[in-house]
Amino acid sequence: MSDRPAIFKTSRLARRASGTTVANRMVPEEVPIALSYGGTTHAVMMASPADFEDFALGFSLTEGIVGSAAEIEAIEVLDVEAGIDIQIRLKDKANTRFEARRRRLAGPVGCGLCGIESIEEAMRSVCDVHKPALALSADDIVQAVKLLSKLQPLHSETGAVHAAGFYVPGKGILAAREDVGRHNALDKLAGALSKAGVDGASGAVVVTSRVSVEMVQKTAAIGAPVIIAVSAPTALAIRTAETAGMTLVALVRGDDFDIFTHPDRVSTGAARHVA
């Protein structure tokens, strides 16, 4: 295991209207974390040094390496000088399937997408979430973001990390995770939900970041039919959410928000078209 702190105190020169002073500030740590399967590194992420097992499990699930936590035999966190190496041992059938997948990949092509080694893999089919009959009100959308903002201790101290939470109507945020990387925060949330036995179809994923296509892919892998974001989506994220049957709500600012796909899950009142 590792006991590396997630926050670091540093000194900086602060210029303000009242003058310039030397003062301390808390900043988030960022370390390379290798995710290794069967002794071979599959991906290296720059991430916050926390919630390692959630990260390993969530990444394995959202990247389709395993179908459930039961396919993982063991997770070992090794603190090496340069960073963290998370060694993940898969059970026989899952390991055979993963090795076959690894052989199919043609090798690095420079797509730069979180260690994924081929464009085809990056554009993999997204899980279908058309069926979950989750119903949200406008108040649910607003409340979900407000509640998540209260569950971000790292961000409160540093102002520099993302968060991902899972909101269930009538219950609030059941779990939340933070990380310097938005994908990592979502992977850690996926792992936490899996360990707690939470059904992804029962609620909505809430994120403090923009919505890129991989955020939609990972939300669908969790089984959540709704993603709620503080920032904007990309065009590809919108198309992918539409195909998957996912409701994509973004740009949640106070009581205002935009629904980009499958608005039927959110009751907002009568729509008014503006040219």
Mind listing the pLDDT tens digit for each residue in 84-113?
Answer: 999 999 999 999 999 988 876 645 444 445
- If you average pLDDT over every residue of the chain, what do you get? 91
Q: How confident is the model at residue 13 (pLDDT cuts 50, 70, 90)?
A: confident
> What does pTM read for this prediction?
0.90
Q: What is the pLDDT of residue 112?
A: 46
Whether the CB-CB separation of 65 and 100 falls below 8 Å is answered with no
Per-residue pLDDT reduced to its tens digit, 187-229: 999 999 999 999 999 999 999 999 999 999 999 999 999 999 9
Residue 105 has a pLDDT of 61
Task: Give the per-residue pLDDT at 275.
Answer: 47
Q: Choose the weakest-confidence range: 16-20, 180-184, 208-212, 250-254.
A: 16-20
Percent of the chain topping pLDDT 90: 82
> Where does CATH 3.40.140.10 sit in the chain?
136-267
What is the model's pLDDT at position 106?
Answer: 45
Catalytic residue annotation:
111
* CB distance 242 to 265 below 8 Å: no
CA atoms within 13 A on the CB side of 275: 0
In this structure, what are the phi and psi dihedrals at residue 78, rounded to the nearest 5 degrees?
Answer: -110, 125
Distance, in Å, from the CA atom of 122 to the CA atom of 220, rounded to the nearest integer, reads: 15
Q: What dotted CATH number matches 31-122?
A: 3.10.20.10
Range with the lowest mean pLDDT among 74-83, 114-123, 177-186? 114-123
Say what the alpha-carbon torsion angle 23, 26, 32, 35 is, to the nearest 10 degrees. Answer: 180
Decide if pLDDT at 76 tops 70.
yes
Sign of CA dihedral 167, 88, 99, 111: positive
- Please, which residues have CB within 8 angstroms of residue 53's CB and are 6 or more apart in sequence? 75, 77, 191, 195
Residue spans in the chain of domains classed CATH 3.10.20.10: 31-122
- CATH number for 136-267 (one of 3.40.140.10, 3.30.70.141, 3.50.50.60, 1.10.3720.10): it is 3.40.140.10
